[in-house]
Amino acid sequence: MTAVETFEVEGHIVDSLILAKILDLILDSGADYRMVQVDIGKTAIDPSRAVVEVTAPDDEVMVRLAEMLQVQGANPLTTGDAVLERADQDGVLPAGFYSTTNLDTEVLVGGRWLRAENPEMDCGLVVLDDDGGSEGAPARVRTLPMHRVRAGDRIVVGAQGVRVIAGNLPRGLSSFEFMDSEVSSEKPKALLLRNLADRLRAARDAGAKVLFVGGPAVIHTGGGPEVARLVRDGWIDVVFAGNGFATHDIESNILGTSLGVSITTGAGTEGGHSNHLRVINEVRRHGSIAAAVAAGFIPGGVMYECVRAGVPFLLGGSVRDDGPLPDTMTDVVAAADRMRDLVDGVAVALMGATTLHAIATGNILPASVETFCIDINHAVVTKLADRGSHQAHGIVTDVGPFLGALADELGAGRS
C-alpha cells in the first residue's frame, strides 16, 4: 500500500543545496516525489519555499524518510479538512467553489482523504453520504457539474484539503511517449497504427470500453464502413457524434452519397444536395434510427451496426443541424449529462475528424482515459490540449484510410 505525504521546506534551500539533498534522500529511500510548488526567493536573503509530494512504497519507508527529512527542515504539510459550504440554490455553486481538473483528486473530509468519483474538469466537488444523500456522515466525494447542484448540497470551497494526484496519466504498455514531443504529420503512421491497435487490444483484454467520437468527415472520406466493422466486431463500445455524422452515414448507406457526393466515384449526383434531407425526413417518419433499422430502411453503416450490436450512441445537436434526426439530443445540457453516464468504464477514446465533439468529450473525460485524436488538421489536437485534455495523443492523417488500416490491423471483418 503506497503512502503519500506532502512536505514543506523553507529557507535558503537552493544555495545551501538542501532541496537537492531532500530530493536525493527521497529517491535513495525508494520513494518518489512530485514538486507541487517551488517559490525561489528573489534576493539572497529571501527564503525559498518548496512543497514536495512524496509517494513511498509503504508506510514504513515513509516514516523513516519523514524522520530524515525533518532533519533537513522538511515537515509534513499539515492541512485542514476541506471547507464545505452548502449551496443556497439549485444550479448554482457557492462562490469560491473548488474548480476541478480532469485529474484524480482527493478531498480531506473528517481527517480522511476521499477519492473524488467521476473525475471531470470544470466541475465542483460535492460531499455525499454513503447513500448519495447530503446529510450525516460523509462517505463519498464526487464531481458535480454546475447545473446539477441542488440547494443544500455540501460543496468544497477553496483549495484547502484538496489534492490532485497527477500520477494517473496513462503510461506505456507499448510506448506512445516517443510521439508526444509535438503534434506532427511527420510521424511513422504504420508504427502509430500498430501501437494504437495494441492499446485497443489491451483495453478489450482488460474488459474496458472504447469510445469512438466522429465527425461527418469520417463519412465523407470513406471511413464509414471501417467504423461500422469496428463496431460490428466489438472494438467500439460507445459512439458519440452529431446529427451530421449519423445523417451522412445513413445517407451513404441508402443512397450511396455523402452530402450528395458519391462515396464510390466522388462525383456529384443529380439533386444530391437534398439527399441527406430526404433521408432525415424518412428516419423522422420512422420515429428513430432504431425503428428505421428495424423496418429495413437503413441497410448498413455505423448507426445500423450500433443498433444491431446494442452499442449505445449519443448524437449531440447543434443550432445548424438539418432535421434533426429524431435521436439527436437538442438539449445540450441533457446531452452532456448522458455523455457523462456513457463514459463510465471507458479506458480509450478515439476521436476522428471532429473538433467540436472532440472538445466536448474531452471536457468530460478523466485524464486517465487514453485519448487519440485522429485528424488531418493538427490544430484540433492542439486545441484539445489547450482546453485541458493534456492526455490527448495526436495522429495527423486522413481519417478514412487510417481507420481502414486500423480495422485491418485489428482483423475486423468486412461485411
Partner 1 sequence: MTVPATAPGPRPGVLADGTNAWGRRYLMCPPTHFGVLYEINPWMHTEVTVDRDRAQAQWEGLVATLRAAGAEVVVVDHDPSVPDMVFTANAGIVNGDQFVPSHFRFPERQPETDIFSDWFARQGFTVDRLPTELDHEGAGDALPFGGLLLSGYRFRSDLPATTALSRLTGVAVRAVELVDPRLYHIDITFCPLDERRAICAPAGWDRYGRKVVDALVPEPLWLEDDEALTFCANSVVIGRTVVMPTTPARVGRQLEAWGFDVVTCEVGEFLKAGGGVRCLTLSLDVDLRR
Nearer CB in complex with partner 1: 22/325: 22
Q: Which is nearer to partner 1, 54 or 109 (CB)?
A: 54
Single-letter residue type at 82 = A
21 vs 390 by CB, closer to partner 1: 21
Residue 66 C-beta: closest distance to partner 1, Å = 15
205/198 Cα distance (integer angstroms)? 10
As measured in angstroms, the least distance from the Cβ of 46 to partner 1 is 8
Q: Which of left, alpha, beta for 392 (phi over 0: left; psi -120 to 50: alpha)? A: beta
- By beta-carbon proximity to partner 1, the closer residue of 73 and 401 is 73
| Interface characters, 75-114, with partner 1 (x: CB under 8 A) | ----------------------------------------
The full length of the chain comes to 415
Cβ burial of 407 (10 Å; 0-12, 13-18, 19+) is buried
Instruction: Name which of residues 61 to 80 contact partner 1 (CB under 8 A).
Output: 71-73
- Using a 10 angstrom Cβ sphere, with 0-12 exposed, 13-18 middle and 19 or more buried, the burial of residue 226 is buried
Q: How far apart are CA 254 and CA 289, in angstroms?
A: 13
Q: Which of 315, 353, 322 is CA-nearest to residue 223?
A: 353
Q: Which residues contact 315 (CB under 8 A, 6 or more apart)?
A: 241, 242, 243, 245, 246, 324, 325, 327, 328, 329
Show contacts with partner 1 in window 4-63 (CB under 8 A). Answer: 10-12, 14-18, 20-21, 40-48
C-beta of 8 vs 408, nearer to partner 1: 8
**Least distance between partner 1 and beta carbon 40 (Å):** 6
CB of 10 to partner 1, least distance (A): 6
Count the Cβ atoms, other than its own, within 10 Å of residue 57: 14
Q: Cβ 36 to partner 1, closest distance in Å?
A: 19
- Compute how many residues bind partner 1; rule: CB under 8 A: 22
Q: Which residues form the interface with partner 1 (CB under 8 A)?
A: 10-12, 14-18, 20-21, 40-48, 71-73
